[in-house]
Each structure stands twice: as C-alpha cells, then as structure tokens.
Amino acid sequence: MIRFAADDGRMLAYDECGTGTPLLCLAGLTRNMDDFEPVVDAFADRARVIRLDTRGRGGSDPDPDFMNYNLIREGRDALNLLDHLGLPKAAILGTSRGGLIAMMLAAGHKDRLSGICLNDIGPLVEPRGLAHIMTYLGIPPDYSDYDDAARRLEIGMRDRFPGVTRDQWRSYARRLWRQSEDGLALRYDPALRHAVMEQSATDALPDLWPLFDALAGLPLALIRGAHSDILSPETAAEMRRRRPDMIFAEIPDRGHTPFLDEPDAVAAIAILLERISK
C-alpha cells in the first residue's frame, strides 16, 4: 500500500501492480482496494492494475467534513491519483459507487478515460437496494471474528449468493472488516452514514441517465449480478438498448455485487481491455 496527498491534503492509499493498459479500480460505498484482489490475480500480466482506497475507506484518511464523501470530491481524488502517477488517461473498473464515480468523470473529464467497466451499477439505483444498505451502513458488525462472519454470511446470504463457500465468505469478511479486541470492526469512516443520509434527505433520486449517455464513444462493459437488488434487469436492458455495443455479462448466483473472480466477469473485463488496446 502506498499513500499520496490529494489536492486538499488528505492522504489517500493506493496500490499498483502489472504492466499494460492502466486500469483504475474504484470500490463500492463501504469497500476498499482489497475487493480487487481477483482482478490483480487475473490481469496483472496484461494491465497496470491500480487500486484506490476512496477517502475515508481502507488505508485512506477520514475526512473531518463528512459532506466531502460525495461523488464529485471522490472523482477528483481519482483524477489526483492519475496526476500523481503521471497518467493522461486510464480505464476505470467501478464497483457500485465506483461506477457512479466513473460516470461522473465521463460527464466532465472524458479525455482522462480510455474505457469503463461498471460492476453491478447503472443510472437507476433500486430503492430497495438502498434501503438494505442503510440497515448496516456505519454500524459495526456483531461478528466475533472472521470464522463467525463466514458461518453466518453463508446462511444469511444464500438466497442472493447460493453456492458461495464458507472460505469465500471468509475472504469477503477479511476484505470488508478488521479484527479488533471487541470483534470485527469497520474499515471505513462510520460518518459515511451521515453523508449518505444528508445527501439523500429529499428522498428524490437524481436522474443519472445523462451521465450514462456521456459514456458514448468509450469502450464500455457492464457486469450484473443476477440477484442484484441495486441494478434491475429492466435498467440493464435499457443500458444495453442505448449502448448495443456494450459488453455485458450477467453473473448467475450473485447479488450485489459480483466478486469479479467469476469466469464471465473475468471474460467481460478481458474483452474490454482488448478493445481499449486496439
């Protein structure tokens, strides 16, 4: 893990591995760079895989002003990292919120992007999925350790993630939480909950279709979990209608979000990188 200073002085963590097309990985709302370990394993031989911990997550500094946990500021952080690395442009693999950041960047800084892969996110976010996120956002889990988490996740998530093994859930838990004396603890700033609540106080979801349409001309891929409660089949179908050239993979036995180690997900990312390199 390496750290650099964003333009407002916050120290942000990142990692890079491999050579080839720069692929900037941006994680979900509460997640961190560890989610992209499978991407490093699969693509470090053909891409420069760069993983960023968004501010307040993982190894990056928390922000004393929680309202800076927003897509515009987080998009600027991504551009700051590209500048720090001396990269004029990169492809973005964005999981959930990371994909929203990618679409935001396409609307204002398209010249910095060589392509985008959206992992289980689109311009319409399902309210029931958001409601589920709010049941745990900013709240420490009640798991005693990673084994306890793996056992209970295997039971509690089997409807959306059937067939996922206990070892896979243990890896999931290790990426999301850290072990403390009192049990598993958050690896992100709990004030993120306040940011989301403040920014959604009107209960009106913004129209993000113009941001999706801003992706025109860029190589594009979409990965969707077949059991996702964030990206509906109808929204994915409309995205495919608007972008018939979009690479698409629907991952069976996965909810929000696919782990990115699934063969179809790996294949979609590979095709995107091939299109970018031509």
In a domain, 57, yes or no: yes
| pLDDT tens digits along 72-108 | 999 999 999 999 999 999 999 999 999 999 999 999 9
Closest to 79 measured CA to CA, from 50, 36, 48, 38: 50
How many Å apart are CA 3 and CA 125, to the nearest integer? 32
Q: 175 in the Ramachandran plot: left (φ > 0), alpha (ψ -120 to 50) or beta?
A: alpha
Q: How many domains does the chain have?
A: 2
CB 91 within 8 A of CB 116: yes
Q: Confidence class of residue 207 from pLDDT cuts 50, 70 and 90?
A: confident
Tell me the residue range of the domain where 217 lies. 2-138+204-277
Q: Do 143 and 270 lie in a common domain?
A: no
Residue type present at position 188? Y
Residue 39 structure tokens: 């991407």
Q: Confidence class of residue 205 from pLDDT cuts 50, 70 and 90?
A: low
CB 215 within 8 A of CB 245: no
Closest to 239 measured CA to CA, from 276, 208, 270: 208
Query: What mean pLDDT do residues 104-122 have?
Result: 97
Q: Do 109 and 231 lie in a common domain?
A: yes
Strands 47-52 and 11-17: antiparallel
Q: Do 105 and 212 lie in a common domain?
A: yes
| pLDDT tens digits along 125-156 | 999 999 999 999 999 999 999 999 999 999 99
CB 140 within 8 A of CB 185: yes
Q: Confidence class of residue 199 from pLDDT cuts 50, 70 and 90?
A: confident
Closest to 224 measured CA to CA, from 93, 132, 99, 121: 121
In a domain, 91, yes or no: yes
- Using H for helix, E for strand and C for coil, what is the string for 178-206? EEECCEEEECECCCHHHHHHHHCCCCCCC
The pLDDT of residue 278 is 73
Look over the chain and give the mean of its residue pLDDT values, rounded to a whole number.
Answer: 96
Enumerate the β-bridge partners of residue 52: 14, 26
In a domain, 155, yes or no: yes
pLDDT at 237 over 80: yes
In a domain, 93, yes or no: yes
CB 90 within 8 A of CB 24: yes
CB 6 within 8 A of CB 24: no
Residue 216 structure tokens: 């025109």
CB 146 within 8 A of CB 226: no
CB 124 within 8 A of CB 232: yes
Query: What mean pLDDT do residues 29-40 have?
Result: 98
The pLDDT of residue 200 is 75
Q: Do 42 and 26 lie in a common domain?
A: yes
Cis preceding linkage at 257, omega within 30:
yes
Q: Do 212 and 271 lie in a common domain?
A: yes
How many Å apart are CA 85 and CA 68, to the nearest integer? 23
Query: What mean pLDDT do residues 221-225 have?
Result: 98
Query: What mean pLDDT do residues 186-211 have?
Result: 86
Q: Do 161 and 254 lie in a common domain?
A: no
pLDDT at 268 over 90: yes
Q: Do 57 and 35 lie in a common domain?
A: yes
In a domain, 193, yes or no: no
Q: Do 101 and 17 lie in a common domain?
A: yes
The pLDDT of residue 203 is 54
- Lowest mean pLDDT across 78-82, 129-133, 188-192, 253-257: 129-133
Q: Do 210 and 120 lie in a common domain?
A: yes
CB 137 within 8 A of CB 193: yes
pLDDT at 202 over 60: no
